[in-house]
Amino acid sequence: MTKACCPGSFDPVTNGHLDVVERASRLFDEVVVAVLENLNKRALFSVEERMEMLREATAHLEGVKVSSFQGLVTEFCKQEGADVIVKGLRAVTDFDYEMQMAQMNKRMGVETAFLAAKPDYTYLSSSLMREVVALGGDIDGLVPPFVLARLKDKMP
Ligand code: ADP
């Protein structure tokens, strides 16, 4: 039985995140999508809201569950029995940071596997989605429709 952990902020989930989760679910028996509860970072959506959206977006995927964690992702992986962290790499800009994290997490006992982002989604980030919606731009097709509706609801 292999189990992967896909950690992130998911504020909110984008189609780029979902592509990585879907592909991980084909490679591993189980996937736990783990929302980081970062008390030092102000988020647009609460952890519960982010988990709700992830649950709705991954409901069709067998073996995928959604959870949250604080602190070290390696500790969370050990608690969950996840053997590997799976992350998407968008561009070289992700590389330095992700490489450092992967090496530190390996030192703490958990391997990381990287999936190359789908070319259509390499420019997607939650922050860009929030920014474009706040300015009235169109992000149709880049996040699930119910995520777009919730983003619009959050805007003043
Ligand atoms: P962001 O706010 O930049 O979207 P997150 O912390 O929510 O970042 O993302 C969690 C992980 O999901 C990232 O570390 C990255 O590995 C992956 N990821 C984010 N966006 C994409 C994307 N568009 N395509 C592939 N992987 C992505």
| Ligand 1, atom nearest to 11 Cα | 7
Residue with tokens 């070290």: 72
Report percent pLDDT > 70 for the chain: 100
Handedness of CA 126, 34, 51, 21 (dihedral sign): positive
Pocket of ligand 1 (CB under 6 A): 8-10, 14, 16-17, 20, 87-88, 90, 117, 121, 124-127
Position 41 scores a pLDDT of 86
pTM of the model: 0.95
Task: Give the gyration radius of the chain's Cα atoms.
Answer: 15
Is residue 90 part of the annotated active site? The answer reads yes
Catalytic-labelled residue, pool 26, 41, 42, 107: 41
pLDDT at 39 over 90: no
Report percent pLDDT > 90 for the chain: 93
pLDDT at 156 over 80: no
The region of weakest confidence among 36-45, 118-127, 144-153 is: 36-45
Nearest-angstrom CA–CA distance, 46 and 44: 7
Nearest-angstrom CA–CA distance, 156 and 135: 11
Residue 67 pLDDT level (bands cut at 50, 70, 90): very high
> What kind of fold does domain 3-122 have according to CATH?
Rossmann fold (3.40.50)
CB-based contact 148:140 (threshold 8 Å): yes
| Ligand 1, atom nearest to 124 Cα | 23
Q: Give pLDDT tens digits for 88-145.
A: 999 888 899 999 999 999 999 999 999 999 999 999 999 999 999 999 999 999 999 9
Residue with tokens 């777009």: 148
Residue 15 pLDDT level (bands cut at 50, 70, 90): very high
